[in-house]
Amino acid sequence: MERVKAKDQAWDDLQDYITNAGAKKFIQVLKRSDDADFVRHYTKLIEFFKPKLQKIDQNTNVTDKITMHLTPANEKLRKLG
């Protein structure tokens, strides 16, 4: 039990660093970066906050059907034919 608490504390400490001291340091590094490095790091950071949406093909015709067979919990399953 003590080991689990130690792991939880380690994750809490990491989260605290990332959202406080680490974030402040990252901002300082971004401010000192040249344009190419800034764009490279900034676009990765944006994807963290606003993940890319998956492309959706509007012209896709879905013809596959899904069939579900539900059985009440108190009945046995029987082989479907």
Whole-number percent of the chain with pLDDT over 70 = 62
In a domain, 43, yes or no: yes
CA 18 to CA 44: how far, in whole Å? 15
Confidence of residue 30 (pLDDT cuts 50, 70, 90): very high
Of the listed ranges 10-14, 15-19, 62-66, the least confidently predicted one is: 62-66
In a domain, 22, yes or no: yes
In a domain, 64, yes or no: no
What is the H or E stretch that residue 32 is in? helix 21-32
CA 62 to CA 76: how far, in whole Å? 33
Confidence (pTM): 0.51
Range of the domain at 41: 2-49
DSSP conformational letter for 14 = H
CA atoms within 13 A on the CB side of 56: 4
pLDDT of residue 36: 92
In a domain, 73, yes or no: no
- For 40, the token pair is 């490279």
Say how many residues make up the chain: 81
In a domain, 74, yes or no: no
Q: Is the predicted pLDDT of residue 35 greater than 90, yes or no?
A: yes
